Structure 1
């Protein structure tokens, strides 16, 4: 029988200090365009990277919880969203990671805890490979570490951001792929950027090297799993250590699916803050 090893997030830890912090909006000039960066709070640097085809608004609830707990939260907007220029043709995950590296350098060079949600984990891990000196630790939130996804779930992933479908049909796909039963999937009806999704998928496909897959093992690593994740079922600690190295810690968030962050922001914040404080 597989031994279940996890740090469970207690239900009583429902919230963290949430003192309002002013959100700074910055424009970072790059040779290939502009990157919009949101920043708030003071303290050790933590970078948030959103999922496929989604922007930093996904972290609007999470970010103030983190900054209120004493972290400097940096949110570079993905290419093609907000004030960020579109992703250039032929770009790879290395180019996407270079944008994040530039944002960290603009803050003084970190090093930063880099947290990637779902597909954002690819960029976090590539950054750890390409610029390890900028990375203090890596956090993967509901991250896919393998490639074995049910074809019907893959269909629902694409249908979720197919805006020509009715809201009712898209909502059924969001429930199937992203949200645990009973959670409000309608919060993800907006916020999708289909062209960005396709560009990011193309960048991932163009990234043919594989060395970055284990690069995060150079750093302390937190894997935050969603207990009811239909896309990335929670791997055991043994599986994570086999694929990501021996320095990984696992936290399981109950009553959450692959969306995770809008479903259980307090639990995600608690896990990230505890991880950050454990690095001191």
Structure 2
């Protein structure tokens, strides 16, 4: 409850809407898949939006955002990454294609295709792979504070690694969180919890094992929304021309002010507004 309250306060929303209430709004489904059980949170009615969290983080990162989208008339699916919650761990040798297969199974299990599939930070890689592998399941792709390739500056990567090093003091980790993820003036303490080091290791291994690159240009086949954070130390906002060059021609770009790479806990209302407007513009 304290985490939920902290997120609400960071978003400028009433602190009395706690995590228990958010969980009550979402149905929890466990899918028995060949790769192991996959837990999926499902709330709302309407065209589907699938939310994929960042590296080594779970579906709770969208606890504030998901109800906003549901209230706007969308069905929100949040597959819990493998190794978190009720989802079985990612298997050795898995690639981003295996991770995308899980998301495809979640969409098909509830009849939610075609869906707007949105990946925050590293989650965007899975969204783009899914759009490439199973284009019929994807209505459009969303990228939130996303590196357009798969490379990250080594110095910033050091702070990312330190964020997962739970043996460090909160004070030391807080400095790394502030540096890598949050805009100046935003409270990084909301992200002190929620890190899953073993999950991040498995996801990084899956990314490294994915040697093909055809999936990178997701905006060749699908409309794509790129939501940039103005103060992002990991993925500085690219221009629309740069995005079209890297991702393909069908790109819409939105820049959110007073936000870093964390973005979602910093400015959930702005992120929700961007996703809602984009989703409503789709044919």
TM superposition score normalised by structure 2: 0.91
User: Which residue does 1:269 correspond to in 2?
Assistant: 272
- Matched ranges for 1:18-37 at <5 A: 22-37=25-40
Which range moves more in the overlay, 236-245 or 212-221? 212-221
How many Å separate the matches in 1 of 2:38 and 2:154?
34
Alignment partner for residue 167 of structure 2, among 164, 169, 176? 164
User: Which residue does 1:152 correspond to in 2?
Assistant: 155
Q: Find the residue that maps to 1:121 and give its secondary structure.
A: helix
**Alpha-carbon deviation of 1:152?**
1.6
Is residue 173 of structure 2 the alignment partner of residue 132 of structure 1? no
Higher relative contact order (CA 8 A, sep 6+): 1
Q: Find the residue that maps to 1:249 and give its secondary structure.
A: strand
Is residue 96 of structure 2 the alignment partner of residue 93 of structure 1? yes
Is residue 191 of structure 2 the alignment partner of residue 188 of structure 1? yes
How many Å separate the matches in 2 of 1:39 and 1:223?
24
**Alpha-carbon deviation of 1:147?**
5.0
Alignment partner for residue 223 of structure 2, among 200, 207, 220? 220
The size of the alignment, in residue pairs, is 265
How many Å separate the matches in 2 of 1:178 and 1:248?
24
1:39-69 Cα distance to aligned partner (Å, 9 max, x none): 0000000000000000000000000000000
Residue pair 1:224, 1:268 contacting (<8 A) in 2 also: yes
**Alpha-carbon deviation of 1:115?**
0.3
**Alpha-carbon deviation of 1:214?**
1.1
**Alpha-carbon deviation of 1:109?**
4.7
Q: Which has the higher helix share?
A: 2
1:83-122 Cα distance to aligned partner (Å, 9 max, x none): 0000000000000000000000011151000000000000
How many Å separate the matches in 2 of 1:182 and 1:252?
18
**Alpha-carbon deviation of 1:243?**
0.5
Unaligned runs of 5+ in 2: 1-11
How many Å separate the matches in 1 of 2:220 and 2:255?
20
- Matched ranges for 1:105-124 at <5 A: 105-124=108-127
Q: Find the residue that maps to 1:180 and give its secondary structure.
A: coil
Is residue 279 of structure 2 the alignment partner of residue 279 of structure 1? no
Unaligned runs of 5+ in 1: 1-13
Residue pair 1:50, 1:120 contacting (<8 A) in 2 also: yes
User: Which residue does 1:9 correspond to in 2?
Assistant: none
How many Å separate the matches in 2 of 1:126 and 1:268?
22
**Alpha-carbon deviation of 1:212?**
0.7
User: Which residue does 2:50 correspond to in 1?
Assistant: 47
1:202-249 Cα distance to aligned partner (Å, 9 max, x none): 000000111111134210100000000000000000000101111100
TM superposition score normalised by structure 1: 0.92
Residue pair 1:27, 1:34 contacting (<8 A) in 2 also: yes
**Alpha-carbon deviation of 1:150?**
2.9
Which range moves more in the overlay, 212-221 or 42-51? 212-221
Superposition CA RMSD, Å: 1.6
How many Å separate the matches in 2 of 1:109 and 1:263?
29
